[in-house]
């Protein structure tokens, strides 16, 4: 069974799936090791990890495709890939989805911002394409699939510019265009989530980033409100920035990491994540007698 088929199977079950954000192969392996059934390769974290830049549209399609290929080579759970705006119009979306699926993505998410996109967590509104253009892009994404199980997620950021009613209207349009799941980006107050549930059919996605009110809920709460995928895109990257900053500051100031040893993995724990023993066993098997 493909990872896309396993994701479809999981989405067909009752309840809501918890989806942690990852940004590289190591964090993806940690998510798999923790027992999650699907992971999110977020555009924000990927841009920061690969380029050291903020989420302002700097990530290219080819860079993302190569990154997905590396993660998919070591990961066994499905990967939901945030492809930002799809990197262009319907033609570019078609090519991008086709290539991401070939690289191993089980699901691809596109959003309705213009190429001059802004991080979805920023205030002040977001520059959007016309609903009709996004509908064409969603249809192109669906048409690009070779595997019918590959999940297409359509995200709208219309709430920040046009209000919740406009976001719901767009969400319905993207569902009708063929999106397998719809992601209406809102702060996530319970009243907003209920409005979305009433207004948009089909599987729904909620952003539970720690900076949003939705993070005060848990996944079972999101499931009770009718949502199928609960994204935690920032958990790993926020933890990394805080913890690594603290240990490096201590090292710079004190010249030792002694006071942080309890927060560090051992070498054995680190090697376990990377399956060192399996590779050493394989090396011994392949070596000449």
Placement of tokens 């080819």 in the chain: 62
CA 206, 175, 132: angle at the middle one, nearest 5?
A: 110
With CA atoms as reference, report the closest residue to 193 among 223, 169, 161, 173: 223
Does one domain contain both 127 and 255?
Answer: no
Contacts of 122 (CB under 8 A, 6+ apart): none
- CA 68 to CA 103: how far, in whole Å? 6
How confident is the model over 180-234, as pLDDT tens digits? 999 999 998 899 999 999 999 989 999 999 999 988 999 999 999 999 999 999 9
One-letter-per-residue 3-state SS of 61-113: HHHHHHHHHHHHHHCCCCEEEECCCCCCCHHHHHHHHHHHHHHCCCEEEEECE
What is the predicted pLDDT for the residue at 288?
75
Domain check: are 133 and 16 in the same one?
Answer: yes
- Count of domains for the chain: 2
Are residues 151 and 69 part of one domain? yes
pTM above 0.85, yes or no: yes
pLDDT tops 90 at residue 60 = yes
Same domain? 54 vs 164 = yes
Indicate if 202 and 163 belong to the same structural domain.
yes
Distance CA 264, CA 204 (A): 37
Q: Which of 58-62, 159-163, 285-289 has the lowest mean pLDDT?
A: 285-289
How much is the pLDDT for 197?
96
Q: Is the dihedral of CA 81, 210, 247, 273 positive or negative?
A: negative
Are residues 26 and 160 located together in one domain of the fold?
yes
Residue 44 lies in domain: 3-234
Q: Are residues 249 and 136 in the same domain?
A: no
Taking only the tens place, the pLDDT of each residue in 89-136 is: 999 999 999 999 999 999 999 999 999 999 999 988 999 999 999 999
- Mark whether 228 and 251 lie in a shared domain: no
Condensed to tens digits (0 to 9), the pLDDT of residues 136-151 reads 999 999 999 999 999 9
Give Cα 8 distance to the centre of its chain: 16
Residues 153 and 84 in one domain: yes
pLDDT at 283 over 80: yes
DSSP classification of residue 259:
G
Residues 182 and 273 in one domain: no
79, 210: one domain: yes
The CATH number for 176's domain is 3.20.20.60
Tens digit of each residue's pLDDT (9 = 90 or more) over 240-270:
999 999 999 999 999 999 999 999 999 999 9
pLDDT at 43 over 80: yes
Q: What is the pLDDT of residue 175?
A: 98
How would you label 66-98 residue by residue, b for 16+ Cβ within 10 Å and e otherwise?
Answer: ebbeebbeebebbbbbbbbbbbeebebbbbbbb
Q: What is the DSSP letter of 57?
A: S
Let me know whether 169 and 265 are in one domain.
Answer: no
């Amino acid at each position: 069974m493909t990872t896309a088929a396993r994701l479809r199977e999981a989405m067909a079950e009752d309840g809501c799936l918890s989806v942690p954000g990852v940004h590289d192969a190591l964090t993806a392996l940690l998510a798999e090791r923790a027992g999650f059934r699907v992971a999110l390769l977020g555009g924000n974290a990927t841009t920061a990890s690969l380029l050291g830049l903020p989420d302002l549209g700097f990530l290219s399609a080819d860079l993302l495709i190569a990154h997905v290929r590396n993660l998919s080579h070591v990961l066994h759970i499905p990967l939901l890939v945030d492809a930002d705006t799809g990197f262009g119009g319907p033609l570019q979306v078609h090519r991008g989805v086709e290539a991401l699926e070939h690289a191993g993505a089980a699901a691809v998410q596109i959003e309705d911002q213009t190429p001059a996109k802004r991080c979805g967590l920023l205030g002040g509104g977001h520059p959007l394409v016309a609903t009709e253009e996004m509908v064409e892009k969603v249809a192109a994404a669906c048409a690009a699939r070779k595997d019918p199980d590959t999940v297409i997620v359509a995200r709208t950021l219309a709430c920040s510019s046009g209000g919740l009613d406009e976001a719901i209207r767009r969400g319905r349009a993207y569902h009708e265009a063929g999106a397998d799941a719809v992601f209406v980006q809102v702060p996530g107050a319970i009243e907003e989530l209920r409005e979305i549930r009433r207004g948009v059919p089909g599987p729904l996605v909620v952003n539970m980033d720690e900076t949003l009110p939705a993070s005060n809920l848990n996944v079972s709460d999101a499931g009770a409100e009718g949502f199928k995928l609960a994204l935690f895109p920032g958990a790993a990257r926020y933890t990394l920035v805080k913890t690594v900053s603290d240990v490096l500051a201590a090292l710079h100031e004190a010249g030792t990491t002694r006071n942080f040893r309890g927060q560090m993995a051992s070498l054995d724990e680190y090697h376990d994540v990377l399956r060192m023993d399996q590779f050493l066993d394989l090396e011994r098997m392949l070596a000449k007698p």
